[in-house]
Amino acid sequence: MYAQALDNEFAREVRAGLMSAGQKTLPCRYLYDDIGSALFEAITCLPEYGLTRADARVIQAHAGDVVRSLGNDLVVAELGSGTGTKTRAILEALARATRTRRPASMPAYYPIDVSAAALAKCARELAHLAVVHPVERSYLEGLAHAARHRAPGQTLLVLFLGSTIGNFEPDAALEFLSGVRQALSRGDGLLLGTDLVKPAAQLIEAYDDPTGVNAAFNLNLLGRINRELDADFNLRQFAHEIRYDAERQRIEMHLRSLVNQRVRIRKAGVVVDFAAKETIWTESCHKFRAGQIGDMARTGGFRLDQQWIDAEWGFAENLLVAV
């Protein structure tokens, strides 16, 4: 059973994160099974969580500027597209620009996601605006695929929206930007959404909403381990906890053990002891200052071409161009 357990990447990472000598951790990408993805959708509707609405507002207002900046012979690829809801405005602007040049043709769109269900919905809903090529792969593999398939002379516009870059550790974010750059050619674009630093109380309310949706999203990670790795976490004995580290500009999401307890995770081959008050660190959400993005862009091999800010929530959409 033990060897079989370690064949499974999820089991291996859960084991490593919960058996480490210091702070227990779990990788945030495992928050998104079917239940977690549905809960995240619900988070984006919460009045306290303005991030997604701000992202959509800026894209809606500036989709035409993005298309004009990069020339209108564009192929669009989106990292972590989900169902592609926010991309509609970009594809509409591009379809308008394309129609004036070649009335019969539609732009190509490569949504990249690990969820087959989300990709299928995306392909159905955007088929009238673009030729949709769903890519069920990791971000960088999917991007390499899209880059290989563009026609000569076409410019690639990569979308990385919703401030997902904030869920990377700062070094990993820079490494990721360099990885994106390597898949691109000079002159290609990256539209990068970044949530901005705001008052701690506002951030805490966004990630610890009174309805408890963020809490359910966080606790579902333990539920997922129970379901997929045959574990016996008692979810009622853990509490959602949000902290803000102002110096590091990040929200930290934890699960706090309410009692001394022992948990068996059979398919990871481990028994984990939790002391009362001990936490599992499940996610970091880094926030940015508008002035930091240009430096990040340069380090990753881009220049910051334009930046649009939503003043209502504090969110920047950044158009980076590969140099």
Smallest gap from Cβ 187 to ligand AVI, in A, equals 28
**Nearer residue to ligand AVI within complex by CB, 13 or 48:** 48
Smallest gap from Cβ 202 to ligand AVI, in A, equals 13
**Nearer residue to ligand AVI within complex by CB, 155 or 194:** 194
Q: Which two tokens stand for residue 170?
A: 């700062």
Q: List residues near ligand AVI by CB under 6 A.
A: 43, 51, 162-164, 166-167, 207, 214, 217, 253, 283, 285
**Nearer residue to ligand AVI within complex by CB, 87 or 163:** 163
Nearest-CB residue for ligand AVI:
285
DSSP code at position 33: S
Determine the Cα–Cα distance for residues 249 and 205; give it in Å rounded to an integer. Answer: 16
Q: Within the chain, where are the H helices?
A: 2-6, 9-19, 34-45, 51-70, 88-101, 116-126, 139-149, 170-183, 200-207, 213-229, 292-300
Residue with tokens 């490569």: 110
- Is residue 24 a contact partner of residue 278, using CB atoms and an 8 Å limit? yes
Smallest gap from Cβ 85 to ligand AVI, in A, equals 14
Longest dimension (CA), the chain: 67
**Nearer residue to ligand AVI within complex by CB, 167 or 249:** 167
Residue with tokens 């699960």: 255
The torsion defined by the Cα of 305, 203, 80 and 153, in degrees rounded to 10, comes to 0
**Nearer residue to ligand AVI within complex by CB, 188 or 317:** 317
Smallest gap from Cβ 313 to ligand AVI, in A, equals 12
Nearest Cα residue to 104 out of 112, 113, 95: 95
Smallest gap from Cβ 206 to ligand AVI, in A, equals 7
**Nearer residue to ligand AVI within complex by CB, 43 or 122:** 43
Beta strands in the chain (DSSP E): 24-25, 74-79, 108-112, 131-132, 155-160, 189-195, 238-245, 250-257, 261-265, 270-274, 279-286, 302-310, 315-322
**Nearer residue to ligand AVI within complex by CB, 37 or 307:** 37
Q: What DSSP line would sit under 116-129, residue for residue? A: HHHHHHHHHHHTTT
Smallest gap from Cβ 163 to ligand AVI, in A, equals 5
Smallest gap from Cβ 6 to ligand AVI, in A, equals 29
